[in-house]
Structure 1
Amino acid sequence: MAREPSIALKAIMPFSETRTKLRYSDTEDETPLIEEAERAEESSSGGRRRRPALTNASTSTVRTRPRNTAKARTINFHTSDKIKDKYPPNVIRNQKYNLITFFPLVLYEQFHVFINLYFLVVALSQFVPQLKIGYIITYFGPLCFVLVVTIGKEAYDDWKRYKRDKENNSQKYQILTKNGYKYIPSSKIRVGDMIVIHKDCRVPADVVLLRTTETSGACFIRTDQLDGETDWKLRIAVPFCQKLPSDESLLQIDADVYADSPSKDIHNFIGNFSKNIPGQVVPQVEPLNVENTLWMNTVLASGTAVGFVIYTGQETRAVMNTSHPETKIGLLDHEINKLSKILFIVTLLLSFVLIALNGFRGLWYIYLLRFLILFSSIIPIGLRVNLDMGKTVYGHQIMNDKEIPETIVRTSTIPEELGRIEYLLSDKTGTLTKNDMELKKLHMGTMSYATDTMDEITAQLEIAFGKRQDDVHARTMPRGWVAGKRRDITSRIRDIVLALALCHNVTPVEEDGEVTYQASSPDEVAIVKWTESVGLTLVFRDISEIHLRTRTGDILEFSILQLFPFTSETKRMGIVVKDNLTEEIVFYEKGADVVMSKIVQYNDWLDEECGNMAREGLRTLVVARKRLSEESYAEFEERFHEATISVSDRKAQEQSVVGSILEQDLELLGLTGVEDKLQDGVKSTLELLRNAGLRIWMLTGDKIETATCIAVSSKLVSRNQYIHTVQKLKSPEAAMDEMDVIQSNTDCCLVIDGESLQLFLEHFKNDFIELAVRLPVVVACRCSPTQKADITRLIKTYTKKRVLCIGDGGNDVSMIQAADVGVGIVGKEGKQASLAADFSITQFGHLTRLLLWHGRNSYKRSAKLAQFVIHRGLIISVIQAVFSSIFYFAPIALYQGLLMVGYSTVYTMAPVFSLVLDKDVSEDIAMMYPELYKELTKASRLEEYLLIM
């Protein structure tokens, strides 16, 4: 079924074809392990057991069972059912309750609310003869109505979760057994099973990819339900298993899979595949990483695959990353809770005054309790139901607003918070900009090309690749070639364009006769599209080879020997390729200037040109290469393989080898400048929000020059506004000096890099935030996701104001979740931010209408509704107080029975509906005069009402 893997396949997954002896330190904590009795049991049942794959020859075969199973494990291909049962069942359960816990937990949650608890006590008091005032239904009716509505909603939501879980758990999957294939439900899948996954099917558990129907051993998966990213990702089968003639052959080999302990990290995995050879103590060991795995809830996008289950149920990445963030409670709800307690005190004082005016005669304490019951209508039990009804209406209006299509309300409890925002924290790429990349500039030291001169590059490439034999001669350099030697223009252009066409993770995918590029980064797609436009097209890519087509139709074939994907930690990616015609081996690397400038050969133009491009608003990438001899690459491959089979600190060891051999004295080829255009309406949106009184911060991972340029072009920075830049601070003293400068000019725009920001947060956190929140605009550059979240929390804590965060990528999720209101934009980076947010929109310009119209209306309506309901209760209580005063302070009810129930429901419902749909100004007025929004943030309407009351 599968052909012998090429050298490229062995290189990307550097598997060993020889016996490899592991260090003893690499064998620790490999659990759960099998005791002697279980080994004997497996032997008697036909399964051949031998020394665990990662056990050093000097260690004993008797191992102590671990204290828990959530640790690293070594799983044999013939693991017994008894061992499999020791791992968690593969059952998905997202329900909050079960039949036994539903009522206790729901009631506990409801009576945590002060109003509900108060009315429960009032209702129960009617069973005491001395305290009984009217019909018991008068008091239990409203409380039961509130509880039935709330409990019904909880039951319905939990029932929907149950239905989704049942659908997933009962989905049938094919597993491979010694008796052939059989179908079992997803909930019956266990660790050690071999499952068959078909195209467009959900992966039911975390598995190691053993085989695919593709002869190359590759397949694509979609991960949008796991991490929100919409691009397809490449996965690679275990080469040894891929070489087997059929899927059934997997049952005939004696092999182990070592998997590290369950983790939430979906981007990393450390494991080993061990083939046990009869007569040999030490097995063949082949390393496994995340490219060999399929995590639960991903979807197979191509072919059919066989996977070996390593984690199930609660130990899968998907379940471990399924967090249930704390329910966000709006400021209005906090104010109502506070007001309810104040009204209780008012009720108590009023009752005490009436008792005191009566001279504390008779059973005054009984009378005091009766007065408390009579005046209980001051505290509105129906307020929360009315507000929840209003919030449902507000959410429906937002999602059905044709002016902001595809807007989704994910948190229905805080729509009125949109009307009280005072700080807006925004990401840049994909939020203020389109994330629609286009390569605009190419600089190579003495030569620079822009959009209007790209034709020259095309012409030079036609010369360079015009004749295949000439091309071969040009690309075959003598081994004594000096990197710094001056080359002609044609060679230099050919080298950098070839580097850009090879150094990436882009894969061309043909669907319905059209070729599209799949990649995790829009930057890479933009660069590959540019190389196509100038005459070098990516036509084929798999795990082992890359094929490029020139304008003349010639195909350039390259073998992939190593691939080092981009990570946010390294900020660069690299690839080692071998020209199949010339057999020349070259290491290409591209990355951010801050890291590449330290590993390329000395030059006198890189820093200056990076700054120039950044000031033009372009995203820069530095491109470099290093030619490798057969000997030097063989040395690297040997050392790198030793690092890849380590189960201890594997990433660091791999990076150390790459840094010490490949990333030394790289030849600088050039610098690219990619433009990310502003979204439509960004300028007007920022201006309107600024006029509405919002203080706007931009938090980005981009460099200072690019962020400053975007801030100016988007009109985030006002015309003629002074921009104060703080960067590369090294000492607290320097930070203090900068704070003194900012203190003297609080009308400036502060632009600060991540390094300096961290210094401020570590040494002068409170002083810095106190100063920064007074500035009209702050732009923080080179920010990590953690720093973004920290800044959000600091502003919330220090100012006590409402903070809105908006972003579009996975690196914005922590910031969005830390904010009072999180808004996610569905962008090219995927849906991760959108799924984590309280509100999801499709473009930044929709934020204006969301805040100035819907936010303002939601808050004003909720505030007026709360005032009305409270006022309604005060009126009847005042009448009751007057009545009791006239009749010698007797605690006798003026209104009894259904009259009281109807007063707070049927008779006064018309104003409630009116207030929920009320508009004090038209849409045009609200959008034309954003200053109307500013009025809402000056003082709480409920606080004003309380003062009047």
Structure 2
Amino acid sequence: MGKSVYAYQIMNDKEIPNTIVRTSTIPEELGRIEYLLSDKTGTLTKNDMELKKLHMGTMAYNIESMDEITSQLAAAFGKAKASGPSATMTGKGRRDMSSRIRDIVLALALCHNVTPVIDADSDEIAYQASSPDEIAIVRWTEQVGLTLVFRDMNEIHLRTADGEILEYSILQTFPFTSESKRMGIIVKDKTTGEIMFYQKGADVVMSKIVQYNDWLDEECDNMAREGLRTLVIARRRLSEDAYNEFQQRFNEAKVSITDRKAQEQSVVVSFLEQDLELLGVTGVEDKLQDEVKNTLELLRNAGLKIWMLTGDKIETATCIAVSSKLVSRNQNIHQISQVTSTHEALEQLEVLQSKKDTCLVIDGTSLQFYMETFKNEFIEIAVRLPVVVACRCSPTQKADITKLIIDFTGKRVCCIGDGGNDVSMIQAAHVGVGIVGKEGKQASLAADFSITQFSYLTKLLLWHGRNSYKRSAKLSQFVIHRGLIISVIQAVFSALFFFAPIALYQGLLIVGYSTVYTMAPVFSLVLDRDVKEETAFKFPELYKELTKGRSLSLKTFFQWLMISVYQGGAIMIMSILLFEDEFVNIVAISFTALIFNELLMVALEINTWYNSDIKYYISYFMYTNKKNYYLHVKALSYDRIRNRNICHIYCFYGILTDLFW
């Protein structure tokens, strides 16, 4: 019942609207998180994409020079219309700039899985796709003068700036997967009969497929340093015979009984993905979510070790980690990439071990190598680091890392993400948080808690998590105390009267004790607060204390056990000794004492402002500056209570607590 109350309070908190608690069994786990594993796209960023740069080797365009692309594209289509396809060549066979722009814009307008939806009332075109990257690119082609107006399984229609409709037949599509990291399409121009294979994908895989060039890697790295997501665009012209041969082999692979996918991929690689003509690279910006910087800073101060797991390349992820303040100003960044040898792997670990306050950035290839060869050595060093950024991670790797941290440390792990590729990671964690984003609700539905933006995590952990854990701890201890004390009274009563099997409290008394008399007072602890909300956010370091598990441990269990035995024995023995003459009323006397004792215990355990905020100011300064905290607490205390003696008592309490800890 208490956990249901916590869930209700979380879902009805107006500061974190539309938050959904999908489980009522683990809200107190929110108060003990030590590792936070987060996705990047759609979680730390908005998944609101905009194409910012287009690089074509000899020419580059940014957001300010897009007008030039529009005019060059219009000129190219006008020239092609006047002279036919041969007009795309000039001089010694080199294509002019307008033709090159036409080729790359056409490739971007054709190579995707976007479907246009036309509003019947306004005639406006809206786009639907599984990836916001693709929508951003198609929206950009519309802005520069090539609009996607129709698409089905067999055809794509594009409209140029002067209203001409270009019709293409879709001969074959090769969807994007997280393993292949690329997608392709074969189309046939209905006007010219020309067959073209277009492909776009991550630079890691595309750089091996396209023809040799000396600028691709450098420009991709430059864009990544600016925090842009890069896509490499390439094409290949196919003759009718070449396509027919490919089609025959591909159909044979499709009906294969064994390793069908592998055989299909083998045909695509051997017939299509050879020496593709590189058209250019796009740079798409993904904006940071609101309040991400403050949220990450608060969580870091609260003692959480944050890991960012992303499918992006190292440079992009590093840029986002710095701009989002995931990496603090004075922290060093240590990169590990393309580690494939045992000697190099051990060397990198030795270097990393000597560094303390460092952010580790590691790519998927190196991570996989460590997971297979030096799993324990790697995780032993990695879990000590305040920040880890893992790039080019597959969904399986994300889940494997989560399980590895849980198995190695035994600490509470929270995973947060927004897409279907984060579901395995979310389900592997102690606490899964899903963000309802542009990639749908897969993560939200699979998670324990669903929120609408990353910044809500602060209140979920530092406030609701704190309260849920503290209240659950007290409530469980009181349930132990409440049941044990009446059992001890019965045991003492039976022992005093020669172990006669007679019940001291019979009928409605025993029922009333556990319902009417003690239910409401004990259950009221689910509304207790040990610090004010502003204090929890002002001093996020207080969250560190919760992770130590001192509120509910073997020590506190035995304390409450001893209290229950002592109080139960005292109530029974004192009742018999003091009221010997009125033994007939011993049931009423002991029962009244029992109820008043329970009510008094609840009253003493409920936190009031003078024994909560001041106490936690003390705890805070013990964590941050032990030498001077006595003076700080005195100054803080005088603001709240004018009684000098109470201030000194609390300072003395702080010193004793420090020594005891």
TM tier, shorter chain? 0.7 to 0.9
Partner of 2:569: none
CA gap 1:719/1:471 in 2 versus in 1, 3 angstroms: farther
1:816 Cα offset (Å): 0.7
Q: What are the Cα deviations for residues 181-213 of structure 1, in whole angstroms up to 9, with x where unaligned?
A: xxxxxxxxxxxxxxxxxxxxxxxxxxxxxxxxx
The partner residue of 2:49 within 431, 437, 444 is 437
- Rounded to whole Å, the distance in 1 between the matches of 2:237 and 2:420 is 36
Structural RMSD (CA): 1.9
8 Å contact from structure 2 (residues 434, 450) kept in 1: yes
Partner of 2:97: 489
CA gap 1:439/1:474 in 2 versus in 1, 3 angstroms: farther
1:907 Cα offset (Å): 0.8
- Rounded to whole Å, the distance in 1 between the matches of 2:295 and 2:162 is 48
1:562 Cα offset (Å): 1.9
User: Is 1:945 aligned with 2:556?
Assistant: yes
Partner of 2:15: 403
* TM-score where L is the length of structure 1: 0.57
The partner residue of 2:106 within 482, 498, 523 is 498
8 Å contact from structure 2 (residues 11, 21) kept in 1: yes
1:441 Cα offset (Å): 0.6
Trace 1:24-35 onto structure 2 (pairs within 5 A): none
1:476 Cα offset (Å): 6.7
Residue identity opposite 2:302 in structure 1 = A
- Rounded to whole Å, the distance in 1 between the matches of 2:29 and 2:524 is 21
Residue identity opposite 2:229 in structure 1 = R
User: Is 1:590 aligned with 2:200?
Assistant: yes
Residue identity opposite 1:510 in structure 2 = I
8 Å contact from structure 1 (residues 617, 710) kept in 2: yes
- Rounded to whole Å, the distance in 2 between the matches of 1:854 and 1:668 is 53
Partner of 1:933: 543
Q: What are the Cα deviations for residues 328-366 of structure 1, in whole angstroms up to 9, with x where unaligned?
A: xxxxxxxxxxxxxxxxxxxxxxxxxxxxxxxxxxxxxxx
The partner residue of 1:569 within 169, 179, 203 is 179
1:646 Cα offset (Å): 3.0
Size of the alignment, in residue pairs?
Answer: 557
1:947 Cα offset (Å): 4.4
Any idea what SS the aligned residue of 2:213 has?
coil
* Greater helix proportion: 2
CA gap 1:587/1:935 in 2 versus in 1, 3 angstroms: same
Any idea what SS the aligned residue of 2:112 has?
coil
1:886 Cα offset (Å): 4.5
Partner of 2:301: 691
8 Å contact from structure 2 (residues 88, 95) kept in 1: no
- Rounded to whole Å, the distance in 1 between the matches of 2:29 and 2:153 is 50
Any idea what SS the aligned residue of 1:817 has?
helix
Partner of 2:336: 726
User: Is 1:423 aligned with 2:35?
Assistant: yes
- Rounded to whole Å, the distance in 1 between the matches of 2:300 and 2:100 is 48
Partner of 1:716: 326
- Rounded to whole Å, the distance in 1 between the matches of 2:257 and 2:476 is 60
8 Å contact from structure 1 (residues 441, 449) kept in 2: yes
Trace 1:296-315 onto structure 2 (pairs within 5 A): none
Residue identity opposite 1:582 in structure 2 = T
- Rounded to whole Å, the distance in 1 between the matches of 2:497 and 2:340 is 79
8 Å contact from structure 1 (residues 476, 584) kept in 2: no
Any idea what SS the aligned residue of 1:751 has?
strand
- Rounded to whole Å, the distance in 2 between the matches of 1:781 and 1:763 is 19
8 Å contact from structure 1 (residues 475, 582) kept in 2: no
Any idea what SS the aligned residue of 1:806 has?
strand
The partner residue of 2:382 within 758, 772, 775 is 772
8 Å contact from structure 1 (residues 464, 471) kept in 2: no
Structure 2, unmatched stretches of 5+, are 563-661
Partner of 1:743: 353
1:934 Cα offset (Å): 1.9
1:469 Cα offset (Å): 2.6
- Rounded to whole Å, the distance in 2 between the matches of 1:713 and 1:687 is 12
The partner residue of 2:397 within 787, 798, 813 is 787
* Percent identity of paired positions between Structure 1 and Structure 2: 78
Partner of 2:631: none
Partner of 2:142: 532
Partner of 2:310: 700
8 Å contact from structure 1 (residues 547, 556) kept in 2: yes
Q: What are the Cα deviations for residues 614-660 of structure 1, in whole angstroms up to 9, with x where unaligned?
A: 11111111001111222222222222232233343332222222211
* TM-score where L is the length of structure 2: 0.81
Q: What are the Cα deviations for residues 64-111 of structure 1, in whole angstroms up to 9, with x where unaligned?
A: xxxxxxxxxxxxxxxxxxxxxxxxxxxxxxxxxxxxxxxxxxxxxxxx
1:585 Cα offset (Å): 1.7
Partner of 1:508: 116
8 Å contact from structure 2 (residues 10, 460) kept in 1: yes
8 Å contact from structure 1 (residues 423, 803) kept in 2: yes
- Rounded to whole Å, the distance in 2 between the matches of 1:647 and 1:526 is 39
- Rounded to whole Å, the distance in 2 between the matches of 1:744 and 1:903 is 61
Partner of 2:291: 681
1:891 Cα offset (Å): 5.9
CA gap 1:460/1:696 in 2 versus in 1, 3 angstroms: same
- Rounded to whole Å, the distance in 2 between the matches of 1:804 and 1:682 is 17
Residue identity opposite 1:868 in structure 2 = F
Trace 1:506-655 onto structure 2 (pairs within 5 A): 506-513=114-121, 514-655=124-265
Q: What are the Cα deviations for residues 356-413 of structure 1, in whole angstroms up to 9, with x where unaligned?
A: xxxxxxxxxxxxxxxxxxxxxxxxxxxxxxxxx1011111111111111111111111
8 Å contact from structure 2 (residues 73, 98) kept in 1: yes
Partner of 1:870: 480
- Rounded to whole Å, the distance in 1 between the matches of 2:270 and 2:492 is 89
Any idea what SS the aligned residue of 2:517 has?
coil
Trace 1:804-819 onto structure 2 (pairs within 5 A): 804-819=414-429
Any idea what SS the aligned residue of 2:84 has?
helix
Partner of 2:606: none
8 Å contact from structure 2 (residues 477, 557) kept in 1: no
Q: What are the Cα deviations for residues 744-772 of structure 1, in whole angstroms up to 9, with x where unaligned?
A: 01210011111111111122212221111
Residue identity opposite 1:488 in structure 2 = D
Residue identity opposite 1:917 in structure 2 = L
Any idea what SS the aligned residue of 2:127 has?
strand
Trace 1:275-314 onto structure 2 (pairs within 5 A): none
8 Å contact from structure 1 (residues 639, 657) kept in 2: yes
1:829 Cα offset (Å): 1.1
Residue identity opposite 2:81 in structure 1 = Q
- Rounded to whole Å, the distance in 1 between the matches of 2:526 and 2:471 is 6
8 Å contact from structure 1 (residues 434, 676) kept in 2: yes
- Rounded to whole Å, the distance in 1 between the matches of 2:240 and 2:342 is 50
- Rounded to whole Å, the distance in 1 between the matches of 2:275 and 2:87 is 20
1:554 Cα offset (Å): 1.6
Q: Which moved more, 1:888-897 or 1:392-401?
A: 888-897
Residue identity opposite 1:457 in structure 2 = I
User: Is 1:803 aligned with 2:413?
Assistant: yes
1:824 Cα offset (Å): 0.8
CA gap 1:486/1:468 in 2 versus in 1, 3 angstroms: closer
Q: Which moved more, 1:635-644 or 1:541-550?
A: 635-644
Residue identity opposite 1:579 in structure 2 = D
1:495 Cα offset (Å): 1.0
1:889 Cα offset (Å): 6.0
Structure 1, unmatched stretches of 5+, are 1-388
- Rounded to whole Å, the distance in 1 between the matches of 2:154 and 2:374 is 52
Trace 1:109-128 onto structure 2 (pairs within 5 A): none
